[in-house]
Amino acid sequence: DSGVTQTPKHLITATGQRVTLRCSPRSGDLSVYWYQQSLDQGLQFLIQYYNGEERAKGNILERFSAQQFPDLHSELNLSSLELGDSALYFCASSVEGSQETQYFGPGTRLLVL
Amino acid sequence: DQQVKQNSPSLSVQEGRISILNCDYTNSMFDYFLWYKKYPAEGPTFLISISSIKDKNEDGRFTVFLNKSAKHLSLHIVPSQPGDSAVYFCAAKWGAQKLVFGQGTRLTINP
C-alpha cells in the first residue's frame, strides 16, 4: 500500500460524457502527478501539481483538466469523452516537486463505450 | 519521440537465475533514473534508482547499472523469485523535469 488513494476504482461511461477522477496523496506529500496508461502503452505523464499550483504539463488534452485543492487532494476532469480515452489513469505523489521518487495509487480504470 | 525505450516487451527467466532488464535512452540531459515494478490491477511501485554520477546502485537482490556513454540502463535481479513476475518500467528525468517512462517489460519467472 503506497498510501496514495484513488477513486473510483472502475468507471464505465458513454462517449461525450464527463467524469471526475479523484486522488488523495500520501500524508505529507505536496506534489501530485497524473498519468494515463492505454492498452500496451507505457505511462504517459499528463500533469503535475505542487501545493495547489500547476507545476508541469505533459501530453494532456484540452478536454482534460485537473486541479489540486487546499487539502492537497487532486481531481482529474475528463470531458467530451471519446472511445480512445479508455485507459488506466494513475495518480502519484511525492514529498516535493522534484519528482525523484513518486508513489503511485492503484489507478482508475476508465472504459468509454 | 520515445526518449526512453525498453525494447523487450517480455522476458522469461527460470527461478533462481538472473533476470536482466534493459532500457535505452536518447536524451543525454537525463540525470536520474528509476525502475518501477507493476503488478496487475495495482499502481507502479518504486524499486530502485540511480543518479547519473554513479554507475551502479545495489539494494538486496536488485542492482541497477548505468552506462552513460552507451545511454543504457539495466536492472539485474538475482536470484529471481516467482514474486518478481511483474511488468518493469524504467523512467528517467533531468532537473525538475517530468519523469519519462519506457513502455515496460513483462518479466515472468518460471518455477
Q: Nearest Cα to B29, choosing from B71, B66, B67, B1?
A: B71
- Smallest Cα distance from B2 to chain A, Å: 10
- Mean residue pLDDT of chain B comes to 94
Locate cell 484513488: which residue?
Answer: A6
* Chain A residues in contact with B32 (beta carbon < 8 A): 100
Q: What confidence category does residue B70 fall into, taking pLDDT thresholds of 50, 70 and 90?
A: very high
**pLDDT tens figures, A24-58:** 999 999 999 999 998 767 789 999 999 999 988 98
Residue of B nearest to A104 (CA): B43
Q: Are the beta carbons of B43 and A2 separated by less than 8 Å?
A: yes
Q: What is the pLDDT of residue A97?
A: 62
Residue of A nearest to B41 (CA): A106
Q: What is the pLDDT of residue A1?
A: 80
Tell whether A52 is within 8 A of chain B (Cβ).
no
**pLDDT tens figures, B10-30:** 999 999 999 999 999 999 999
Q: What is the pLDDT of residue B1?
A: 64
Phi first, then psi: what are they for B57, rounded to 5°?
-145, 135
Q: What confidence category does residue A98 fall into, taking pLDDT thresholds of 50, 70 and 90?
A: low
Does residue B82 surpass a pLDDT of 70?
yes
Q: How much is the average pLDDT of B40-60? A: 93
Q: How much is the average pLDDT of A11-28? A: 96
Q: Nearest Cα to B93, choosing from B52, B44, B56?
A: B52
Tell whether A21 is within 8 A of chain B (Cβ).
no
For residue A87, the number of C-alpha atoms closer than 13 Å in the C-beta half-sphere is 20
Q: DSSP letters along A24-91, please?
A: EPPTT--EEEEEEE-TT--PEEEEEEETTEEEEE-S--TTEEEEE-TTS-EEEEE-S--GGG-EEEEE
Q: How much is the average pLDDT of A83-96? A: 92
Q: What confidence category does residue B98 fall into, taking pLDDT thresholds of 50, 70 and 90?
A: confident
Beta-sheet pairing, B10-14 with B105-110? parallel
* Chain A residues in contact with B36 (beta carbon < 8 A): 104
Q: What is the pLDDT of residue A40?
A: 66
Q: How much is the average pLDDT of B89-103? A: 86
Q: Are the beta carbons of B89 and A43 separated by less than 8 Å?
A: yes
Q: Are the beta carbons of B96 and A99 separated by less than 8 Å?
A: yes
